[in-house]
Amino acid sequence: MKISFAGPRLPHAGTVAVSVADERKLLATAARLDEESGGNLTRAMAASKFKGRGEEVLAVLAPARLEVNRVLLYGIGKEGGGERVAWQNRGGHIVAQLNSAGEKTAAVALDQRDNEAQIAADLAYGARLRAYRFDKYRTKEKPENKPTLEELTIVVEDPAAAKRAFQPLEKVAEAVYFTRDLVSEPANVIYPETLAEQARSLEKLGVEVEVLDEKQMKKLGMNALLGVAQGSERPPRLVIMQWKGNPKARNPAPIAFIGKGVTFDTGGISIKPAGGMEDMKWDMAGAGVVIGLMRALAGRKAKVNVVGIGGLVENMPSGTAQRPGDIVTSLSGQTIEVLNTDAEGRLVLADALWYCQQRFKPQFMVNLATLTGAIIVSLGNEHAGLFSNNEELAERLIASGKRVGEKLWRMPLAEGYDKMIDSDAADVKNIGGREAGSITAAQFLQRFVNNVPWAHLDIAGTTWSKKDAPTVPKGATAFGLRLLDQLVAEHYEEG
Question: Is 109 in contact with 19 (CB distance < 8 Å)?
Answer: yes
Of 353, 236, 356, the C-alpha closest to 307 is 356
* Residues contacting residue 240 through CB under 8 Å, at least 6 positions apart: 209, 210, 211, 212, 307, 308, 309
Strands ordered across the beta sheet of 454-458: 208-212, 237-244, 305-315, 255-265, 365-369, 454-458, 384-388, 408-410
* Residues contacting residue 71 through CB under 8 Å, at least 6 positions apart: 15, 16, 17, 18, 30, 33, 37, 41, 59, 60, 63
- Please give the Cα distance from 298 to 416 (Å, whole number): 42
Of 287, 314, 35, the C-alpha closest to 178 is 287
Catalytic positions are: 272, 346
- Please give the Cα distance from 314 to 229 (Å, whole number): 6
- Please give the Cα distance from 346 to 175 (Å, whole number): 26
Of 293, 267, 308, 291, the C-alpha closest to 182 is 291
Q: How many other C-beta atoms are found inside a 10 Å radius of the C-beta of residue 161?
A: 16
Of 303, 331, 317, 161, the C-alpha closest to 243 is 303
- Please give the Cα distance from 281 to 405 (Å, whole number): 25
DSSP string of 54-105, one letter each residue? TT-EEEEES-TT-SSSEEEEEE-SSTT--SHHHHHHHHHHHHHHHHHHT-SE
- Please give the Cα distance from 182 to 187 (Å, whole number): 10
- Please give the Cα distance from 225 to 77 (Å, whole number): 51
115 phi-psi bin (left φ>0, alpha ψ -120 to 50, beta other) = left
Enumerate the β-bridge partners of residue 464: 476
Phi, psi of 371 (to 5 degrees): -90, -40
- Please give the Cα distance from 388 to 9 (Å, whole number): 51
Q: Longest C-alpha distance within the chain, in Å?
A: 82
